[in-house]
Amino acid sequence: MSNLKTISTLFLNHGSNVSTIMLGRLSGLQKLRCIFTKCWDDCNSFPELSCLSRLESLKVCFSGKVHSPSKFSFPANLKKLMLSSFQLPWNEISAIGRFPNLEVLKLLDRAFEEQQWEMNEGEFQNLKFLKLDLLNIITWIVSSKHLPSLEQIVLHSCKHLQESLQVLEKFQH
């Protein structure tokens, strides 16, 4: 299984030894699309994916609610990441923002749940594409210095978002 490069629609149960063992055997995996299942009431961490050191593209969906605090366990060398339905607080996104190779980030269907996202300096330095879709965000505190490599933003169904003029200004030139 170490030669396998892509897996789609893999169901991973949190806390399952079978999932952990199986993922450990997928060392050559480059693209993964998976669904996290099971409510994490007693343990607030994501399934361990950092063992997938060659993983470049990850799409993860979850139905339920992750209870804070939660810790991402994704490989730091990801280039593309899509998260959907996690309902995480925005302060959890800092872990993702430190991924040095991240170029594409899609946050869909209440991936993050709170009303304000304040970006921190030094995060998302190589991000080229950002999609925010079906989020309940109202305030996004960001400027062009936070996203120096950004080429495209897609905002869809973020009905309450007050536009951040500083970022949008960058794309008018």
Q: What is the pLDDT of residue 97?
A: 92
The residue type found at 14 is: H
- 3-state SS, 112-171, equals ECCCEEECCCCCCCCCCEEEEECCCCCEEECCHHHCCCCCEEEEECCCCCECCHHHHHHC
Paired with 81 in beta bridges are: 58, 105
Q: What is the pLDDT of residue 173?
A: 45
Q: What is the pLDDT of residue 165?
A: 46
User: What are 156's two structure tokens?
Assistant: 């869809």
Report mean pLDDT in 10-residue bins for the chain, 173 residues. Answer: 80 63 81 76 64 91 64 85 89 90 96 89 94 92 85 90 58 49
Rounded to whole angstroms, the Cα distance separating 111 from 80 reads 15
Q: What is the pLDDT of residue 143?
A: 78
Q: What is the pLDDT of residue 103?
A: 98
Q: What is the pLDDT of residue 32?
A: 92
User: What are 57's two structure tokens?
Assistant: 């593209």
Determine the 3-state secondary structure of 20 from DSSP: helix
User: What are 33's two structure tokens?
Assistant: 């699309």
DSSP string, 38-77: S--SS--B----TT-TT--EEEEEE-S-PPSS-B----TT
Q: What is the pLDDT of residue 108?
A: 95
Contacting residues for 123 by C-beta, under 8 A, at least 6 apart = 94, 97, 98, 146
